[in-house]
Amino acid sequence: MTLFGIDLKATLTYKSFMLLYKEICTFLITFGNLGKDFVRVSKYVLRFQFKWKEIVAQSARFGVDSLPISLTIVGMTAIIIAMQTAPELAKQGLGDYMGLVSALVMVREMAAIMAGFAIINMVGASFASELASMSVTDQISAMRVLRVDPVEYLILPRFMAGVIMMPFVTVVAATFGLILAAFVSKWTADISLLNFLTSLWQGLYVRDIFIAILKASVFGGTIALISCSCGYSTRGGAKEVGLSTTRSVVWSFLAIAIWDYIFAAIFYL
């Protein structure tokens, strides 16, 4: 393809547009696959048709794999927030409100989102690469020839594990974060544990806890579905396995951020 003697295909503009075109195609294909897999998973969920053995196995894996890193990340976030906030509040004579601030920050936002980010890296990436490897080595094709639905056997249990276990991880991580925040507040601003606890109860609303659990459940299901869908639709070889895993992580991050905004807009606006 030439114009005024210039090979258009060799120009940077053409290459940039082609790259953009490919990215848009990949986005649409991924989005389409995700929608298709969501519909197929929903059918099984609505029929209450579960492979409990697989769900238990995947749930155990989801919880065990993600808990240490989730606790670490949420714990560190709680420590940092307490280190920076407690002395300032104490200076303003508002040290007694530290528990309330910690509860609002942890329960409403930090525990679910930070645990979500940890789980994307720890569990989501592992789901995506596992299913992608199975796909490129014909294991998923073999399952289809054996007339076992890979969506029911592979995606559904992981999705359910995400929906069930993510709230558990979030609740444990939030509790751990609040305990650490209490000790850090005592250490950095001399806020007594009793004052912290009293104030914490004032900021801990049952509604917030339910919203946090619902949000965590949605995050867990979304991470599992995106990761499995990206892995399941992989074709090619080792390079594509890596690309699918990266895509699953990027998409999960984006989805979590969007869900977080939706929850905030619905429940706190």
Task: Tell whether residue 141 is a contact of another protein (CB under 8 A).
Answer: yes
Task: Tell whether residue 146 is a contact of another protein (CB under 8 A).
Answer: yes
Closest Cα to residue 35, out of 254, 225, 264?
225
Contact segment (CB under 8 A) with another protein among 65-73, 82-90, 121-129, 147-155 equals 147-155
Query: What secondary structure does DSSP assign to 241-259, as a single string?
Result: HHHHHHHHHHHHHHHHHHH
Alpha carbon distance 152, 209 (integer Å): 31
Task: Tell whether residue 137 is a contact of another protein (CB under 8 A).
Answer: yes
Task: Tell whether residue 147 is a contact of another protein (CB under 8 A).
Answer: yes
Alpha carbon distance 229, 139 (integer Å): 15
Contact segment (CB under 8 A) with another protein among 20-28, 131-139, 177-185, 213-221 equals 131-139
Output the CA torsion sign for 50, 231, 254, 203.
Answer: positive
Task: Tell whether residue 198 is a contact of another protein (CB under 8 A).
Answer: no
Contact between residue 34 and residue 225 where contact means Cβ atoms under 8 Å apart = yes
How is residue 37 annotated by DSSP?
Answer: H
236: phi > 0 → left, psi -120 to 50 → alpha, else beta; which? left
Alpha carbon distance 119, 58 (integer Å): 13
Nearer to another protein, 146 or 206 (CB): 146
- Could you tell me the two tokens for 82? 């307490």
Applying CB under 8 A, among 139, 192, 198, 202 the residue interacting with another protein is 139
Nearer to another protein, 100 or 134 (CB): 134
Task: Tell whether residue 42 is a contact of another protein (CB under 8 A).
Answer: no
Nearer to another protein, 70 or 135 (CB): 135
Nearer to another protein, 15 or 144 (CB): 144
Nearer to another protein, 6 or 28 (CB): 28
Contact segment (CB under 8 A) with another protein among 40-48, 69-77, 109-117, 144-152 equals 144-152
Residue whose structure tokens are 């303003």: 92
Task: Tell whether residue 22 is a contact of another protein (CB under 8 A).
Answer: no
The residues that touch another protein, with contacts defined as CB under 8 A, are 134, 137-139, 141-148, 153
